[in-house]
Amino acid sequence: MAHTGIFATAAQIIRTAGLNANAVAIASEALINDYAAQSESEINSATRYNWSDKYGTLNADVKAILTRASTKLVAMDIANYDPNAWGLATTQTKLDVLEKAYLRDISILRDIKSQTFIIGA
């Protein structure tokens, strides 16, 4: 099965999930594809803009922000797949850090001034 994500590659997702992520989760292309599709839909909905449809026309800066946001969401899903992979305290810290980064990326994409700038770039 090939990777079907738009915003991030499987390698980028696995790298964001981090060392000692559940081996089954990061080895399953189907699982990563499912999580990636969900993350892309959530980002599109949260920002009220369909980045997926316009992805090919976006510049590298916008793509990088979308990659960051998407990899953070998928990494959270991977962490939740097996919270014991790191231990519960480490998993919670990891989830907190990933969520904070995701929310920052979404606020950039959601901000109309940023959106106008990055869409026109």
Domain parsing of the chain, residue ranges: 10-120
Cα–Cα dist 92/78, whole Å: 13
Kindly report the three-state secondary structure assignment for every residue of 47-105.
Answer: HCCCHHHHHHHCCHHHHHHHHHHHHHHHHHHHHHHCHHHCCHHHHHHHHHHHHHHHHHH
Render pLDDT for 18-34 as a digit per residue (tens, 0 to 9).
Answer: 999 999 999 999 999 99
Location of structure tokens 């990777």: 3
Render pLDDT for 62-85 as a digit per residue (tens, 0 to 9).
Answer: 899 999 999 999 999 999 999 998
> Of the given ranges (58-62, 87-91, 101-105), which has the lowest mean pLDDT?
58-62
Three-state secondary structure call for residue 20: coil
pTM: 0.90
In this model, does residue 103 exceed pLDDT 90? yes
Residues 101, 102, 106, 109: is their CA dihedral positive or negative? positive
* pLDDT at residue 59, rounded to an integer: 86
